Amino acid sequence: MNSSAAIGIFDSGIGGLTVAHAVTKLLPNENIIYFGDTAHLPYGDKSAAAIQAYSIKICNVLLQQKCKIILIACNSASAAAYELVKEYVGSKAKVMNVIDPVVNYISENYAGKTIGLIGTKQTVNSNIYRKKTDALDKDITLKSLATPLLAPMIEEGFFNHNISESIIQEYLKNEELNDIEALILGCTHYPLIKKQIESYYKDAVTVLDTSEIVAKSVKEFLSENNALNALNAHIKHFYVSDYTQSFETSTKIFFGEQIRLEYYPLWE
């Protein structure tokens, strides 16, 4: 593995920038290539077959860039396309998702506990978190709730706002999430509303920021394989399959700093 090669990260939109930001914060020397498939967002209401087709197209772009890791920074795509992408990429790059690191974290910290999960319809209906937590045999009870309004609400900039407050509270008071001790933010958009969720629970429930957990798993993999970049990062490319000026402006909220998005017409 070429240690100076970039880490490729993709998502349906800008939600995955929360993961990219966590990775660059923890691994400032790493080169980053990000692809936001904004022409097809959100993935949460797409079929598994459609998500798989989009994911393979994006992987081709990242493989052309010689990425050492391809990180699927989307729970919906991780649920629907991870196994196919891993088989497609083969030994050309390490394929990682945003679900397995979180399941491993739960295994280590929440045996015998009741955990909540909020995410898109695709993520929740896939039952992938439940299957993986059941397979741990750690007596973990998982309570899941689809929260389809949250990702588009965040994409449109409606958070830290009365509208978002009402929607968040309406979801969290659902009886499906009763008696949980921790809550998995099962969508890469959701770290942006973590404070509002924590405020609702008033420290009674631990809110798990999956972007930080995933970034740590990337660092662990690179460390174990002697693939950390020893040089200062000089590549940070951010591509989108559909482009608007307002969309570029909103990425500052997700990434924590102004970045320039480059239009990459995926389907031409």
Is 206 assigned a ligand-binding role in the annotation? no
Annotation says 59 is catalytic: no
Give the residue from 93, 83, 21 showing the smallest Cα distance to 257.
Answer: 21
Is 139 assigned a ligand-binding role in the annotation? no
Annotation says 67 is catalytic: no
Give the residue from 15, 107, 23 showing the smallest Cα distance to 70.
Answer: 23
Catalytically annotated residue among 187, 192, 197, 240: 187
Catalytically annotated residue among 6, 14, 74, 266: 74
Please write down the long-range contacts of 47-52, taking CB distance under 8 Å and 24 or more positions apart. 48/80, 48/81, 48/122, 48/126, 51/76, 51/77, 51/80, 51/81, 51/122, 52/80, 52/81, 52/84, 52/85
Is 127 assigned a ligand-binding role in the annotation? no
Is 12 assigned a ligand-binding role in the annotation? yes
C-alpha 124/C-alpha 114 separation (Å) is 16
Amino acid at the residue 10: F
Is 44 assigned a ligand-binding role in the annotation? yes
Q: Which residues are annotated as a binding site for substrate?
A: 11-12, 43-44, 75-76, 188-189
Q: Which residues are annotated as a binding site?
A: 11-12, 43-44, 75-76, 188-189
**Which residues are known catalytic residues?**
74, 187
